[in-house]
Amino acid sequence: GAVLVRVAQSHIRIGTVQYFASRQDGEALEILIDHVMRRHYPDAMQDFAPVRNMLDRIIARQARLVAQWQSLGFIHGVMNTDNMLLSGETIDYGPCAFMDEFDAGKVFSSIDHGGRYAYQNQPHIAHWNLSVLTQSLLPFLDDDPDQALASGQAAIDAFPGIYQSAYLDRMRGKLGLTDPQDGDAVLIQDLFGLMQDGQSDFTLTFRRLADLADPETAPHSEVGGLFELPATFTPWLERWQQRLASDSLASSERQASMYAANPAFIPRNHLVEEAIFAAERHGDFEPFHTLLDILARPFEFDEELARYALPPRPEQVVTQTFCGT
């Protein structure tokens, strides 16, 4: 037997608020809001509009969280309102997966038949879920229904801008850019276009870019022997190098920061399957513990562990994940 314990600041979800709102249980909602505020957003209690302040903070946390997912190729799999915490943490990601080759429309979850929760849809789904939260909180935003609606609309309308800012910050960090410039979004978008066309490995592409960030160390790169960028990347790489030249960070510092932003190891699906199979079929937990130790230090590349950085061979590819995974 075993006990699986999920640890989070709390397990209060958007769906929790939605549940009481759907029952029109204002008393329970008031108690819940007070608890959430005291536990997660105590500073909001000092504001002249505490519930709006709390809502703004929840929206900002979720925007930053999803930006982190997108920057790592993480696909949650079941992003309904009952699987989004008000604390802004990731939870209930049973069929989650980190993608190998980049595909903006990638879906792994066995229950996501229509691709609702595909990688590219995650920011939009988060926005939609937060609009449900906002609607559930309207009676507590203002006594005047029109004012409450205006306040809620302003809160939810802020999500795209907060998300985009957080996403660009994460992606600039992955590309070694410290001084924001107007063309950065296009540079990032074009990179993902090349990755999509070439079915490039998400994680190794960015780790390889970190190798190339310092010309002096590039010949002695970490993953160059495991993965190389195709020739189609050459024009983009030239644009990127020109962009780096206009940045204030020294090459060695840039490379170190990129290694710290781009993991060498992720829980690749075929490795997770290997660990599960060994434990289930043979009672052998060594693959599990080995993988766990490696993932505890995802940014530290070790040549002796290189196989754990590699994408799956064709016969190892996992196309579907399940809530029990």
Query: Which residues does the annotation mark as catalytic?
Result: 82
Identify the residue whose tokens are 């209690």: 45
Strand partners, 13: 85
Identify the residue whose tokens are 């907060």: 162
Token pair, residue 215, equals 């010309």
Task: Let me know if 124 is exposed, middle or buried by CB neighbors in 10 A (0-12, 13-18, 19+).
Answer: middle
Identify the residue whose tokens are 């994940």: 321
Residue type, 280: E
Residue type, 140: F
Rounded to 10 degrees, the C-alpha dihedral 158/163/169/171 comes to -150
Q: Which of 4, 137, 5, 34 is nearest to 81 (CA)?
A: 137
70 and 56 in contact (C-beta within 8 Å)? no
CA-based R_g, the chain, Å = 22
Token pair, residue 2, equals 């075993």
Q: How many other CB atoms are there within 10 angstroms of residue 314's CB atom?
A: 5
